[in-house]
Amino acid sequence: MLSDGERQFLAHQRIAHLATADRHAVPHVVPVCFAISGNALYVAIDEKPKRRPVTALKRLRNIAENPAVAVIVDRYAEDWARLGWVMLSGRAEVLRDGQEHRDAQALLRSRYPQLSPMQIADYPVIAVRIERATSWGNLTPDGAPS
């Protein structure tokens, strides 16, 4: 599904934007921490100091109503020869427990040390089952011309 170049680009980027929509197709886009394993992209749900409970998050409510999602990971630079992006589309599910949930959280913790002190074991993880990948531009990890 993902080319080696797309996987390498994704591995070097730190933030993605997750697009969900409710049952009425009203869009909602948020920046997220992510990790890729196989043909799945995992999104961390971490401690939200301003929001209780975590299950009230709009992205989780939207996925329950409409699992079709898109994720964009991009790099902007003033030197437009360095521009690049990967867009993934697929269906999302919310993992609340089980081995995949634990493995995804371990993968996300290894990628983002900021998650280490957080008590996220009881929080859900969004799993995007990648159905399509589209990319454009310079996908080299550092954006140097290839």
Please return the burial class of 117, using the count of CB atoms within 10 Å of its CB with bins 0-12, 13-18 and 19+.
Answer: exposed
* Nearest C-alpha neighbor of 130 from the set 17, 39, 29: 39
DSSP 31: E
Residues 6+ apart with CB under 8 A from 20: 27, 28, 29, 58, 59, 62, 63, 66, 69, 92
Per-position pLDDT tens, the chain of length 146: 899 999 999 999 999 999 999 999 999 999 999 999 999 999 999 876 555 666 689 999 999 999 999 999 999 999 999 999 999 999 999 999 999 999 999 999 999 999 989 888 989 999 999 999 999 999 998 877 76
Query: Which domains, from first to last, does the chain contain?
Result: 4-135 (2.30.110.10)
Beta bridge partners of 137: 84
- What is the C-alpha to C-alpha distance for residues 62 and 23, in angstroms, rounded to an integer? 7
Mean pLDDT (the chain) is 93
Whether residue 125 contacts residue 42, with contact meaning beta carbons closer than 8 Å, is answered with: yes
